[in-house]
Every structure is written in C-alpha cells, then in structure tokens.
A and B are shown apart, each in its own frame.
Chain A
Amino acid sequence: MLEKTICAGFGGQGVMSMGRLIATTAMENGLEVSWLPSYGPEMRGGTANCHVIVSSTPIGSPIISTDATTVLALNLPSMKKFEHALIENGLMIYNSSLIDQQPEREDLRAVPIAANEIAADIGNLKAANMVMLGAFIELTGILKADDLVRALGKMFGSGKQQFIPINEKALREGMRAAAQG
C-alpha cells in the first residue's frame, strides 16, 4: 500500500492538522508514515500545504512531486496548484463550499464536498477539515473512522477532549457525503 496525499488550503483551515492526523492514525496502525509541511513566511489566510505519505514499506523521499494519489483541496488556489501533482485518474477531493469550479484535468476522480456548509450545519465551521478527512477515508479506505478518532484523542491531549465529539461528527458527516456523492 502506498498513499501519497497532499492537503492544501488557506492557513487557518487546519490543513496541517489534517495531514498530521492521517499520519498519526496510520502510524498507530503500524504503517510507515512521513509528514512534510510547506514552510516559509506564512500567515493566517496565506496558503499552506503538507505532503503525507502512508506506506506498508519504508519511505524514501517525503516529497510528493507529480505522483500524488490524492489531493485534498480546501480552496481554489490549492486545487489549481496541485491538480497537476496527481497521477493519472488520481483522486481530487475539493471543498465545493469555496471552490465553484471543477479541476481542469478530465482524467481525475473529482469529488466535491461542501465541507464548510456541512461543518456549519453541525455547529462548528472550524471542523470543515474533518469533513474533508471523512470523505478521504471513505473514498480511499486506508483508515478507519474509529482509529482516526482515537488518534485525535491522543493528539488533543487532556485539555481539549471536549472537542472530540464535534470533530467525530464532522468526520462521519464527511464520510456520508462522500458515500452519497
């Protein structure tokens, strides 16, 4: 198994955390993982991305150049930038709440998820990243929701446990949206 995912969006949308959660959960499941962030003079509202590799064998380079299997795009600049990083027939999950167009490439498996609206409906716009993550695990099948929630509990530590239920709800709504999509 080799899954190369790029998570990208505005700074503040939680794209780094999404990638970290994928990596943490996969690690807890005994898989090899790497997480590589973009870094630079970045700020809230600027663009941010991370490269996450999950593999059943040791990982060489943590950089994903033109061999991404999945892109999770939370805003339009991210979709435009990274659709060309996908392999043929790669998976593009995009946040249709903020992206009102489809990817240019026609070979892609493009899945719109109204992440902001779904997150707002369940009561926390900040959980839009978890909605996207729900769609990701539903469509790729590489991780289970229960494992992801358990890893989130570890990542949050003792001080933030009260945020687990809303995040889990967002995750499951994302899975449902992807299954219906």
Chain B
Amino acid sequence: MEKVLMKGNEAIAQAAIHGGCRYFFGYPITPQNEIPEYMSREMPKAGGVFLQAESEVAAINMVYGAAGAGARVMTSSSSPGIALKQEGISYIVGSEVPCVIVNISRGGPGLGGIQPAQSDYNQSTRGGGNGDYNMIVFAPANIQEAVDLTAEAFEIADFYRNPVMILGDGMIGQMMEPVVFHETPKRELEPKTWATTGTGGKRAPNIINSLHLDPANLEKHNLHLQQKYARMRAEETRYELYQADDAELVFVAYGTASRIVRNAIIQLRETGVKAGMIRPISVWPFPQAAFDQLGSQVRALMSVELSCGQMVDDVRIAAAGRWPVGFYGRSGGMIPAQHEIVDACRSMLEEVA
C-alpha cells in the first residue's frame, strides 16, 4: 500500500471513511477544521453524508440519530466544542448506540486558546456528561497511530454499542507525517437488530431511549453498562513500554507529550541516566497492567502532561504507593522543551536518592 504524507486531521478523516464511516456531522472550531473540510469534499465521493450543523449540540444529536438508525457515524470538535457535546454523548451511551467522537484538544478552560493541550483528560476519561459511564478513549502519538485507531474505533464502537473517543491535540491535528492505510482489524459483529430502520409492518418498533423512570430498571441498566466497562478494562487496554526494562525513573506520558519525553529519554540515557516510559495508548481504560510489569529497579514515576496535572491522579492510583509519583506539565498551549523534562527527571531522582 502507498505511503502518503498527510496532515493529522485529514488522515483521521480519511481513516474514518476507510473504517466505514458514512455520516459526519460537525461544527467548525480550530484546530480540527481540516476534518470537516476533508469530510465535506470526500464523504460524498464515498457515498456518504457530510452535514455542517448549526451548533455542536445539534451535531452530536444528529450523530445520536444516525447511530440509532444503525449508521457508522462520527463527529469531531475541539475542547470547548466537545464540552458542548457532553449531554448528547451521555444520551448516546445511555441508549447504547455506537459512534466515534474526535477531540483535537486545545488549551482551556473556557474558550482558552487554540494551541495544543491535554487538559481534557479528566473530561474524556471520566465520562464527561452526567451519569455513571465510560467510553474507550484512544490517544494517538503519531499520525499512523491516529489512522489505525480511528479506523478500528468504528469496529470497537459497534462491538460494544458504545462511543469511542479519539483524543488528539492541536499538534497531532496539524502536523504531517507519512501514513499507510492498512486493512482494519475486523470483529465479529452482531447484526444491528436494535436499529430504528423501519418496521415494514413486520415487527414491533425499536426504541432508542436513555430514559428509565423505574429506579429498579435504571439500576439494572447501569449494572449492564458496568459489565461492558469491565470487559473493556479487561480487553481493550493498550499501552507501549519504552526503555522501561532497566529504568530507574519511568515517565508516564501520552500523545504529543510522549514524543518529547521520548527525546528526553534518549538524551538522559546518553548521560547515563536510566529513564523509560509507560505510554498509555488507551487513556481509558488506563493501563494499570503496565505498572505491574515494572521491575524492582524503578525508583520513581513521573507524569508529563500538557496540563496542570490530570493523568497524574491515575498514575498515583496505578502506583498504589509502590513508588513516589512526580509531575511535570505545561499548560495553555505551551509545549515543554526537552531540557525541561530532562531537568525535572534529574531533580526527581535527587529527591528520591
């Protein structure tokens, strides 16, 4: 297959079409505008529908509708836009319909800025809307990974009848790298007998709904959802261990932050400091298992984020008191320089000496 140089946003859009997405509803916001732009041009050629909604709220409810009718559907936005979609996402989870949501995040809170940030970690991994719910959240660190995960996300969403989120940031969205569109791993999927496709007078109507007024029913429904999340935790966790075998300090970083950490590790090792990394690829489910694989030589963990410290809480939970947990982060669209991470690692190792 041919290798092509593509911008992250365009590659994600193409990957969605490649993964069978035929409906896209969205509303413009920087730094993800190339996704709807690409979809508006390419989706009709694939026989699908692109529609620019009047707002983010409208877009997510169009997604809800299309998903309820059994379509493969996606929306994309950036941080404040994703915040607006939360009500719809919660309804979609409650109604158990599948879709893919892309967040090319930017600095916050509020309108914030338009430069890359990872400060939507909590919003993404804690559900975001009301109620007890989760969704699988993949955080690609390069464009090839973004392509592979986006295409596969549609299979996974259908498998669980639950949304899957692709959590990128402005840098992943805007940068270009070579990509290849591989064949997407397929799952055994049940026919969508629940979809509202018209009864044809031959069966009782299907109903897509998240309202359960009887508390006993709603609790039963919640327990059913929790069973799905337990299965996701068991089967959908993804991570990469980088130079962790002999590492004394193990960084934990995902997406854009992990790329700078990777360079910092190379620099640290050149000067004899044994550093490594756990890179969560799924930030929900969080890769607890990766921490259990660490050897007894590990002296400290350090979460590096483009935020004021969100994933660090999950790192503390995963560490379970076994190692001291440090944090280094920049926010608001500022990107930490390699030497800042190197310095933070050295200080932490001195502290725990």
Name A's B-contacting residues (CB within 8 A).
Answer: 20, 23-24, 27, 32-37, 39-41, 60-63, 65-66
Contacts of A61 in B (CB 8 A): 259-260, 262-263, 338
A35–B337 contact, CB under 8 A?
no
A60–B259 contact, CB under 8 A?
yes
Tell whether B115 is near chain A: CB-to-CB under 8 Å.
yes
Contacts of A37 in B (CB 8 A): 174-175
Docked Cα-Cα span, A23 to B179, in Å, equals 13
Pick the contact of A23: B5, B30, B114, B170 (CB < 8 A): B5
State whether A35 and B5 are in contact (beta carbons under 8 Å apart), knowing that A27-B178, A65-B337 are contacts in the complex: yes
Give the number of residues in B that approach A within 8 Å (Cβ atoms): 21
Docked Cα-Cα span, A24 to B260, in Å, equals 23
A65–B5 contact, CB under 8 A?
no
Name B's A-contacting residues (CB within 8 A).
Answer: 3, 5, 30-31, 114-115, 170-171, 174-178, 259-260, 262-263, 266, 335, 337-338
Pick the contact of B177: A34, A39, A63 (CB < 8 A): A34
Docked Cα-Cα span, A27 to B260, in Å, equals 22
In the A-B complex, list the 4 residue pairs whose CB atoms are closest, starting with the nearest. Answer: A35-B176, A60-B263, A60-B262, A36-B175
Can you give 16 contacting A-B residue pairs, CB < 8 Å?
A20-B5, A20-B176, A24-B5, A33-B5, A35-B175, A39-B114, A39-B170, A39-B174, A40-B114, A41-B114, A60-B263, A61-B262, A61-B263, A61-B338, A63-B260, A65-B337
Contacts of A33 in B (CB 8 A): 5, 177-178
Contacts of B337 in A (CB 8 A): 65-66
Docked Cα-Cα span, A83 to B274, in Å, equals 33
Docked Cα-Cα span, A27 to B178, in Å, equals 7
Docked Cα-Cα span, A39 to B263, in Å, equals 23
Contacts of A63 in B (CB 8 A): 171, 260, 335
A23 nearest CB across to chain B (Å)? 6
State whether A65 and B175 are in contact (beta carbons under 8 Å apart), knowing that A60-B259, A60-B263 are contacts in the complex: no
